[in-house]
């Protein structure tokens, strides 16, 4: 059934490409290739995948996989610099930050004074090494119940206290 889908080389040959220069931001200039839109006729009439097509090679709980810290850099230096510059421009001083998918490297500007910086990640030792975090929650992806509930109490400048409970699904 999967053979009814276009292979990547066939798709590239069938769909004309346009080279676009995306806006320069910080140290990075990005280029992208845009292709014309597909029509419904380009796809199989029925969903071609079974549930097992989405199973993982290693079905052990995530907490076991992430129990050993890896201390790897997941994006390149240019992307980190661009994110750091963006956060520096967008975050006001004293802002409280919820850093989801946090790790040992922070993309927050190192010299900007911030309020609470709460990191949510999968390895406690990596989160402990993140110097920008004021606190962290070790949380793994859950297959049966993929939600995260985190209660935060934020104190605003008008001496008003607001308690939020976030549930991310």
What does the pLDDT look like over 20-71, one tens digit per residue?
Answer: 444 444 544 545 555 567 788 888 889 899 988 888 888 887 778 788 899 9
Q: Where does a domain end: 54, 81, 98?
A: 54
Paired strand residues for 150: 166
What are the CA-CA distances from residue 65 to residues 60, 68, 91 (Å)? 7, 7, 33
pLDDT beyond 70 at 106: yes
Based on the domain organization, do 150 and 104 belong to the same domain?
yes
The number of domains in the chain is 2
Cα 74 from chain centre:
10
Based on the domain organization, do 108 and 69 belong to the same domain?
yes
Based on the domain organization, do 41 and 76 belong to the same domain?
no
Say what the pTM is.
Answer: 0.57
pLDDT score, position 38: 79
Based on the domain organization, do 150 and 84 belong to the same domain?
yes
pLDDT score, position 92: 94
pLDDT beyond 50 at 98: yes
pLDDT score, position 164: 53
pLDDT score, position 57: 84
Based on the domain organization, do 42 and 13 belong to the same domain?
yes
Based on the domain organization, do 74 and 122 belong to the same domain?
yes
Distance CA(160)–CA(16), nearest Å, equals 56
pLDDT score, position 154: 47
Based on the domain organization, do 102 and 38 belong to the same domain?
no
pLDDT beyond 60 at 78: yes
Based on the domain organization, do 68 and 43 belong to the same domain?
no
- Which token pair is 44? 């199989």
Based on the domain organization, do 67 and 150 belong to the same domain?
yes
Based on the domain organization, do 13 and 76 belong to the same domain?
no
| 17-25 and 28-35 beta bridge pairing | antiparallel
Nearest Cα residue to 138 out of 109, 95, 100, 112: 100
Distance CA(70)–CA(124), nearest Å, equals 11
Based on the domain organization, do 117 and 146 belong to the same domain?
yes
Paired strand residues for 119: 99, 136
In the numeric block, the tokens 């962290």 are attached to 136
Give the range of the structural domain holding residue 41, as residue numbers without chain letter.
Answer: 2-54
Based on the domain organization, do 36 and 72 belong to the same domain?
no
DSSP for residue 7: P
Mean pLDDT over 132-144 rounds to: 80
More confident residue, 141 or 21: 141
Q: For residue 168, what is the enclosing H or E element? A: strand 161-168
């Amino acid at each position: 059934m999967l053979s009814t889908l276009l292979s990547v080389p066939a798709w590239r040959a069938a769909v004309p490409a346009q080279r676009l220069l995306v806006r320069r931001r910080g140290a990075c200039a990005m280029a992208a290739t845009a292709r014309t839109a597909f029509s419904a006729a380009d796809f199989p009439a029925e969903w071609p995948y079974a549930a097992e097509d989405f199973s993982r090679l290693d079905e052990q709980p995530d907490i076991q996989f992430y129990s050993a810290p890896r201390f790897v850099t997941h994006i390149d230096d240019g992307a980190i610099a661009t994110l750091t510059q963006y956060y520096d421009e967008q975050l006001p001083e004293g802002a409280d930050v919820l850093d989801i998918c946090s790790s040992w490297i922070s993309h927050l500007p190192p010299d900007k004074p911030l309020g609470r910086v709460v990191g949510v990640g999968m390895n406690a030792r990596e989160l402990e090494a993140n110097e920008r975090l004021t606190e962290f929650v070790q949380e793994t992806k859950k297959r049966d119940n993929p939600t995260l509930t985190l209660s935060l109490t934020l104190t605003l400048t008008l001496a008003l206290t607001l308690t939020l409970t976030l549930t991310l699904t």
